Chain A
Amino acid sequence: MKELRLMKGNEAVAEAAIRAGCDGYFGYPITPQSEIMEYLMAQQPEKTTGMVVLQAESEVAAINMVYGGASCGKRVMTSSSSPGISLKQEGISYIAGAELPCVIVNVVRGGPGLGTIQPSQSDYFQSVKGGGHGDYRLIVLAPASVQEMADFAGLGFDLAFKYRNPVLILSDGVIGQMMEKVELDEFKPRFTKEEIAKNTPWATFGKTDDRERNIITSLDLDSAKQEKHVTHLSEKYKLMEENEVRFEEFQTEDAEYLIVAYGSSARISQKAVDIARAKGIKVGLLRPITLFPFPKKPLAELAKQVKGILSVEMSLGQMVEDVKLAVECKVKVEHFGRYGGIIPTPDEVVAALEQKIIGG
């Protein structure tokens, strides 16, 4: 049987990273995610698995340490919260451009600017539409429970290496700070030198006489080559859209209305569905688990069945744009959100559904 523990989301992602064979964590503290590095430091994995845990001098330094570690074929990760993730964007763009695998955790707080330390989901655009410069995409996983914070560490590394692409775990202050029951995976060994040479032949693990040197860069001054490179990236993103869409449906079979929500908003909306159903309103919930690639097809299918869709986010309305694109405006789509660190209540979600979708 797997080990059962009561853990914070932040602790769960940290423990799961050690167990997933992570080689290095590089971070800089910021509320509400500081427990990730605190937990790793307390575990001292350098004495057990050999994993490095390092507090960098800044967020910019941390993401560039990740760039360096990933270049060598290592499983490396960093974490921060919204303002710190903004600082990391240049590095993230370089890592995407250089086609390197890594896991980045954003435990979102309210913005813009330093904003607030309370939970929010206002970094959706930054996460799925770029954030840094250039034509690139991150695979974005949105955990809605402490269990998923743990599960997505391992899944994140697997996807990052499968596509040679950074993976972002987009969490928030609720999921990071709350404690729930979590089942932990067995320890997976770190890659050996031989495995790195075999699995990631592109990495800079030390040149031998029998091959050309590997070069890791995101720079190509020859525009024709750069265009070819970006086309290659776009093909990779298409493959992700074909193969990696993940979502969960809740009470959609007979639904006349639909709520779309991810992360902690999905948990709140699930309770809203129960409350609305008790009032006789046939509503279901679609929870995107991957925000990129976005579950466009299941949404388009449900749009044929329902009379209206409410997108619930802790923001002014960001994911709602992707919901509208997915259903091609064939059905009414409205947004409901609280922001600035305020968490909506299930009753508020039901009221918004009644006013904006059913009554409107």
Chain B
Amino acid sequence: MTEEIIIAGFGGQGVLSMGKILAYSGIMQNQEVSWMPSYGPEMRGGTANVAVVISDERISSPVINSYDTAIILNQQSLDKFESTVKPGGLLIYDPNGITHHPTRKDINIYTIEASEEAGKLGLMKTFNMIVLGGFLKLKPLIQPEFIHKGLEKSLPARHHKLIPENEKAIEIGKGLIKAVQVL
């Protein structure tokens, strides 16, 4: 199994840390992982993205140009990455702020109203975990116990008290995912 994922959105939405938690959880589950962020001028323009690969085998290239899954959190990222999803692949996006919706007919498309729900529940800090929950509902690549271990490893010890809140957000996300187009 090899899963190549792009996570993209605004800086501050927790894009890079979502990728890190996913990658660390992969390590805890004894898999090979890579996490390759954008760090260049794009990032300084306010958008952030990270390519995460989780695999049973040694990962060759950490730099990839087509993905099994795209997790998209703003319009710029949707415009940039919709075309990079492999045919038959998965696109998950938060429709908040999206005016031009995806148009491809050869991929599976789901929405997750994560920012609206996070706002309602006052859980803005765990917004990214709601999104991660939606992804894990569709692709349960990592078992919950290893997500727990991944959170323990990713968060500094002084934030470990927040782990249950993060796990709750993942559960909420699992219930929010909605199919738009299923092949």
Contact = CB atoms under 8 A, between A and B. Distances in A.
Nearest to B34: A180
B61 A179 contact: no
Interface string B33-46: 11111011100000
Which of B32, B41, B61, B64 has most chain A Cβ within 10 Å? B61
Which of B39, B41, B65, B153 has most chain A Cβ within 10 Å? B39
A224 interface: no
Nearest to B38: A177
Given A180-B34, A270-B61, A6 B20 contact: yes
B11 interface: no
Given A267-B61, A268-B61, A174 B32 contact: no
Contact of B27 (A4, A264, A345): A4
B27 A343 contact: no
A173 interface: yes
B59 to A, nearest CB: 8
B40 A117 contact: yes
Given A6-B24, A181-B32, A181-B33, A174 B39 contact: no
Contacts of B119: none
Nearest to A32: B39
Nearest to A345: B65
B63 A341 contact: no
B99 interface: no
A332 interface: no
Q: A interface, by DSSP: helix, strand, loop or mixed?
A: mixed
A270 B61 CA distance: 7
Interface string A154-180: 000000000000000000011001111
B35 A178 contact: yes
Contacts of A116: 40
Contact of B36 (A117, A174, A271): A174
Q: B interface, by DSSP: helix, strand, loop or mixed?
A: mixed
Contacts of B62: 174, 178, 180, 264, 267
A177 B36 contact: yes
Contacts of B37: 177-178
Contacts of B109: none
Contact of B61 (A31, A173, A181, A346): A346
A347 B64 CA distance: 10
A268 B34 contact: no
A174 B63 CA distance: 8
A118 interface: yes
Interface residues of A, number: 26
A346 B61 CA distance: 8
Given A178-B34, A181-B33, A6 B61 contact: no
B42 to A, nearest CB: 10
Contacts of A244: none
B103 interface: no
Given A180-B62, A268-B61, A346-B61, A341 B40 contact: yes
Nearest to B150: A6
A180 B60 contact: no
Given A174-B62, A267-B60, A6 B40 contact: no
A6 B153 contact: yes
A11 to B, nearest CB: 12
10 contacts: A4-B27, A177-B36, A177-B37, A178-B62, A179-B34, A180-B59, A264-B62, A345-B63, A346-B60, A347-B65
Interface of A: 4-6, 31-32, 116-118, 173-174, 177-181, 264, 267-268, 270-271, 274, 341, 343, 345-347
6 closest A-B pairs by beta carbon, nearest first, are A179-B35, A271-B61, A270-B60, A271-B60, A178-B36, A268-B61
